[in-house]
Structure 1
Amino acid sequence: MFGPLLPPPRLLSMSSIQFGFGFGSPRPPSDRSLSLAALWAVVLLSPLRGTARAAASGAPPHTAMVPAVFAFGDSIVDPGNNNGLATVAKCNFSPYGRDLDLGVPIGRFSNGRVPSDMLAEKLGVKKFLPAYLDPNLELQDLLTGVSFASGANGYDPLSAELALVLSLSDQLDLYTDYMETVRSEVGEERASAIASESIYILCTGANDITNTYFGTLLRRFEYDVSSYADLLVGSASSFLRELYGLGARRIMVLSLPPIGCLPSQRTLHGGPERDCFNSADEAAVLFNSKLCAEIDSLKEDLPGARLVYMDIYYPLLAIIQDPARFGFEVSTKGCCGTGNIEVSYLCNRLDHPEMCDDDTKYVFWDSFHPTEATYRTLTDQLYSKYGRELF
């Protein structure tokens, strides 16, 4: 059942999608040819400017102007860009989003808010960082930042192709379109200031290891773990250089988490005891070390850039290994359904009889994504440790 994927059929052409800025633009059309995406599911089984104040939970000790926040990457920071794509990597249905203010599932891969939302709030910008492909966006939404992230994306372009989602290249194209719209609305000078003074988040790569590499044979025919990590780091470096070339200066890059300890990976690879999948964790540690070194190198090559590598691996591992220390009770399975394998469409309203009542006791919401409570704990730790480096 969890065997290798077949060679992909004709993939959804991203050039056929009309990427809009809101203002009544159509949402990307759906496509019913989802055979490859189904296989992916099996494998996964302004005006106003914000002010960051020291009083805001872990903020830098000085006041800094942050006009906007932007996010790129995967499901950790995707607030709904996948909703209109022809992919099964989406969650705009119950019980996702059950703890949001209105309890409405709008596309975030969690029970509530995600890290990009929390960072935007810490910086005094806004409480929710919306999806760029949300057709209801208004000018003010654009000027204070959006997320271009797409769940199931990765540094490896093949990851996006397998899941029929937006690649990092697609996301950069959307950002370029975004900047053209902003320039037309507020002028070149202000648009350039928004680009250079805003905070950017890059968070992706987990799907590359869990799904594209260990979940299929497509990359293992070509790469061992070390050379595959080099491929991913090379892609990350190219992305950061391109983003810098488009005006970005304050960029935070999240490491890979301990992906072998995700509930889904315990179920698929952890044996009868559902132990952590050590091979995936070792690959994540290797990638993280190479990524950190590459970011140090980029700092020397990109004048004026504030590139901040943020280690998420060990903070999350500490929570998983000792949940009680952080106020949690369950760290080996998610809240949704059995918590062992459910994610995306497998985590649905039909699972309600088995779903946990209090997700604040759980480290994970589904078998792949943390709960809002976990995200809040991690975001507080990361911003307290690294926030000053952004200014």
Structure 2
Amino acid sequence: MFSFYLPSSSSRVAAASLGLFILLLLPITPQSSYLNRTAAVPAVIAFGDSIIDPGNNNAITTVVRCDFPPYGEDFAGHFPSGRFSNGKIPTDFIASKLGVKEFLPAYLGTQLRPEDLLTGVSFASGGSGFDPLTPKIVSVLSMADQMDLFKEYRERVRGVAGEERASSIFSDSLYVVCAGSDDLANNYFLLPHVRMKTYDFPAYANFLARSASSFVE
């Protein structure tokens, strides 16, 4: 079985106001051939916004970036990796806690080794959101763009691991989706003449919940 949660109708407004954070854990089969056999899952794969962007925005043309000091002052090597943090971000802690690897790398702008591909990457882009308008405002990767990169990534993993092992990796991995806060802070409330004309707040919260559900499906 897998565990999946989305807010009920009565709680969607509260969920949207805090940003939407979804963890989808797919089944683990004993036949899986993990790179690290002590790990709880073979890989961690992430989509979302700045909360879990490890540096994808470094590789695109956008003002939403943090590849400069003082970002990264507490990160390994004390350098600004592109994480919107002075140190590790949530997906780093998740991957480390599950025994997969210490840091979850960005898919873009990173020299990924075969073992990096096999144990997961992040496609998250700071400033993105479930509303298609949100990433356009600051020229970052939309959730659809991230999904396209994921499809490309799947082919790269198949090239490294072969079809059977790749299928095992993708079916058993932990998928993390974290988005929604930018839809509110940088879209709905920042540009009230756009979305507020179409949606009151409960309606917009429901729109985000439906978009989140559609993305995961």
Q: Shorter-chain TM-score category?
A: 0.7 to 0.9
Query: Which of residues 206, 218, 232 in structure 1 aligns to 2:181?
Result: 206
User: 2:38 corresponds to which letter in structure 1?
Assistant: T
1:230 Cα deviation after fit: 1.5
Indicate whether 1:96 and 2:71 are aligned.
yes
Indicate whether 1:190 and 2:165 are aligned.
yes
1:106 Cα deviation after fit: 1.0
Aligned to 1:124: 99
Task: Provide Cα deviations, 1:60-98, integer angstroms capped at 9, x if missing partner.
Answer: xxxxx4110011100000000000211111001100000
Q: Quick one: distance in 1 between partners of 2:148 and 2:72?
A: 28
Q: Quick one: distance in 2 between partners of 1:172 and 1:237?
A: 14
User: Secondary structure at the residue paired with 1:105?
Assistant: coil
User: Secondary structure at the residue paired with 2:171?
Assistant: helix
Aligned to 2:52: 77
Higher relative contact order (CA 8 A, sep 6+): 2
* TM-score, normalised relative to structure 2: 0.82
Q: Which runs of 5+ in 1 are unaligned?
A: 1-45, 53-64, 242-391
Query: Which of residues 196, 214, 217 in structure 2 aligns to 1:238?
Result: 214
Q: Quick one: distance in 1 between partners of 2:103 and 2:94?
A: 9
Query: Which of residues 138, 144, 150 in structure 1 aligns to 2:125?
Result: 150
Q: Quick one: distance in 2 between partners of 1:145 and 1:133?
A: 13
User: Secondary structure at the residue paired with 2:109?
Assistant: coil
The percent of aligned pairs where both chains have the same amino acid is 56
Superposed CA RMSD in Å reads 1.3
Query: Which of residues 192, 195, 202 in structure 2 aligns to 1:219?
Result: 195
Task: Provide Cα deviations, 1:341-365, integer angstroms capped at 9, x if missing partner.
Answer: xxxxxxxxxxxxxxxxxxxxxxxxx
1:223 Cα deviation after fit: 0.6
Q: Quick one: distance in 1 between partners of 2:162 and 2:112?
A: 20
Aligned to 1:348: none
Task: Please say if residues 155 and 235 of structure 1, whose CA atoms lie closer than 8 Å, have aligned partners that are also in contact.
Answer: yes
Q: Quick one: distance in 1 between partners of 2:174 and 2:75?
A: 24
Indicate whether 1:49 and 2:36 are aligned.
yes
Task: Please say if residues 34 and 169 of structure 2, whose CA atoms lie closer than 8 Å, have aligned partners that are also in contact.
Answer: no
Aligned to 1:179: 154
1:135 Cα deviation after fit: 3.4
User: Secondary structure at the residue paired with 2:115?
Assistant: helix
1:47 Cα deviation after fit: 6.2
1:50 Cα deviation after fit: 5.1
Aligned to 1:167: 142
User: 1:139 corresponds to which letter in structure 2?
Assistant: P
User: 1:220 corresponds to which letter in structure 2?
Assistant: M
Task: Please say if residues 50 and 124 of structure 1, whose CA atoms lie closer than 8 Å, have aligned partners that are also in contact.
Answer: no
Q: Quick one: distance in 1 between partners of 2:34 and 2:72?
A: 29
* TM-score, normalised relative to structure 1: 0.46
1:134 Cα deviation after fit: 2.6
Task: Please say if residues 54 and 83 of structure 2, whose CA atoms lie closer than 8 Å, have aligned partners that are also in contact.
Answer: yes
User: 1:183 corresponds to which letter in structure 2?
Assistant: R
Q: Spell out the pairing of 1:307-386 with structure 2 (5 A cutoff).
A: none
User: Secondary structure at the residue paired with 1:220?
Assistant: helix
1:51 Cα deviation after fit: 2.8
User: 1:212 corresponds to which letter in structure 2?
Assistant: N
Larger radius of gyration: 1
Indicate whether 1:140 and 2:127 are aligned.
no
1:209 Cα deviation after fit: 0.8
Q: Which runs of 5+ in 2 are unaligned?
A: 1-32
User: 2:68 corresponds to which letter in structure 1?
Assistant: F
Moved over 3 A (4+): none
Task: Provide Cα deviations, 1:307-354, integer angstroms capped at 9, x if missing partner.
Answer: xxxxxxxxxxxxxxxxxxxxxxxxxxxxxxxxxxxxxxxxxxxxxxxx
Aligned to 2:9: none
Q: How many residues align?
A: 184
Distance of aligned partners of 1:152 and 1:50 in 2 relative to their CA distance in 1, 3 Å threshold: farther
Query: Which of residues 229, 239, 258 in structure 1 aligns to 2:205?
Result: 229
1:210 Cα deviation after fit: 1.1
Q: Quick one: distance in 2 between partners of 1:197 and 1:47?
A: 10
